[in-house]
Amino acid sequence: MKPKRDYDPEALGVQILGEGHASAISHNAWDRASLHDDAERFAEQKAEDRKHPAWSLRDKPDTEP
Amino acid sequence: MVHWKRATDSQPRFQFEQSSGTLANSQIFNCGPTGSAQQADYYNNSPKGAGYSIEGGRLKAGIGQGRPTNAWEQAEILRRRGVPCDVVVIDTLPQLDELLGYGRRPIGIGVEMSRVTATTRGHSFTGWHRITLLTRSHRIRGGKRVPGYTYTDPNFSPAGGHRPDPKKGHRFISRAELRHAYIENTPRFAIVPAHKKGQG
């Protein structure tokens, strides 16, 4: 049964997906080992952060639609 | 009885909570069920400290333990808590802004976390991950207004755990960084409640 929505998917231009689509969402594949070295890995990642392609986007006064 | 007006008012949920099962089975995989629990807590006005069981949602929806969940399973958890919702493909930020608004429709999205800076993430995990956008918002950085979104990343522990969130579940990502991480990547699945709170 379709839920009663307060928006019109067609007018908004979004696609409602049915059952059966494969999804890669929520693959949080942490393991016990990664919990122990997490702080060290995170420190290494932060040290490299200025090279990240999204670094300049963090503080961007974005006006794009 | 409490009534949470905005999604930022209700309690942030974390996958390393006690109600999320054991570490191996299924805490490490529970970003999705955790986000669905947080959405349900908001819509159903769960008191702080008495939110829906995270692992209980997984089991209630008939989802096996010890593995990640997909968008449909996360939507099913939310439906089983009485919140009608859809899995939606969002292609643009204006679409996201229209659906999300200012705090009355928290939306779960899947993000490849390597596309987000470590500083924004606050943790080292770089794989596919479910976060929950709570509201459009902004920060003043370097004297400039930076538009973005307030969100909860479940990949932390509650206070007193192995890694509490310094932002207490209200993290910020700029609009430009979210565009890079989510809109300019695939898939762009979102778990979208059918109505804003109070409009159902």
Tell me: the pLDDT tens digits for B174-188?
Answer: 999 999 999 999 989
The answer to whether residue A59 neighbours chain B at the CB level (below 8 Å) is yes
Taking an 8 Å cut-off on Cβ atoms, the answer to whether B72 and A35 are in contact is no
- Closest residue of A to B86, CA-based? A16
CB burial of residue B138 (10 Å; 0-12, 13-18, 19+): middle
Q: Are A22 and B149 in contact (CB under 8 A)?
A: no
| CB spacing of B163 vs A38 below 8 angstroms | yes
Residue B2 domain-assigned (yes or no): no
What does the CA dihedral B100, B197, B5, B1 come to, rounded to 10 degrees? -150
- Residues 14-53 (A) with a CB less than 8 A from some CB of B: 14-17, 19, 21-32, 34-35, 38-39, 41-42, 45-46, 48-49, 52-53
| pLDDT for res B89 | 94
Domain holding B88, by residue range, is 18-193
B109, containing H or E segment: strand B107-112
Would residue B95 count as lying in a domain? yes
User: Per-residue confidence at A20, pLDDT binned at 50, 70, 90?
Assistant: low
Residue B127 within a domain: yes
Whether A5 and chain B come into contact, CB under 8 Å, resolves to: yes
pLDDT of residue B162: 83
pLDDT at B177: 98
Neighbours of B58 (CB within 10 A): 29
Q: Does some domain include residue B163? A: yes
Report how many Cβ contacts below 8 Å link chain A to chain B: 181
Q: Is residue A25 scored above 90 in pLDDT?
A: no
**pLDDT range class, residue B92, cuts 50, 70, 90:** very high
Residue B91 falls inside a structural domain: yes
The DSSP code for B50 is -
The per-residue pLDDT for B8 is: 98
Residue B183 in any domain: the answer is: yes
The answer for residues whose C-beta is within 8 angstroms of residue A33's C-beta and 6 or more apart is: none
For chain A, what is the radius of gyration of the CA atoms?
Answer: 20
CATH number of the domain residue B44 falls in? 3.90.70.10
pLDDT at residue A18 in the model: 79
Query: What average pLDDT does the segment B185-200 reach?
Result: 91
Residue A28: pLDDT above 70?
no
Q: Does residue A23 carry a pLDDT above 60?
A: no
pLDDT in tens, A5-14: 999 999 999 9
Pick from B57, B18, B23, B61: nearest CA to B37: B57
How many independent structural domains does chain B possess? 1
- Asked whether A48 and B138 are in contact (CB, 8 A), the reply is no
Helix (H, G, I), strand (E, B), or coil: what is residue B137?
strand
The reported pTM is: 0.94
Mean of per-residue pLDDT scores for chain B? 94
Residues 117-146 of chain B with CB under 8 A from chain A are 117-120, 123-130, 141-142, 144-146
Q: Report whether pLDDT(B72) > 70.
A: yes
Convert the pLDDT of each residue in B24-42 to its tens digit: 778 888 999 999 999 999 9
The pLDDT confidence band at residue A1, using thresholds 50, 70 and 90, is: low
B189 pLDDT higher than 60: yes
pLDDT reported for residue B123:
92
Asked, for residue B33, whether it belongs to a domain, the answer is: yes
- Report whether pLDDT(B200) > 90: no
The residue ranking higher by pLDDT, B175 or B22, is B175
B96 within domain boundaries: yes
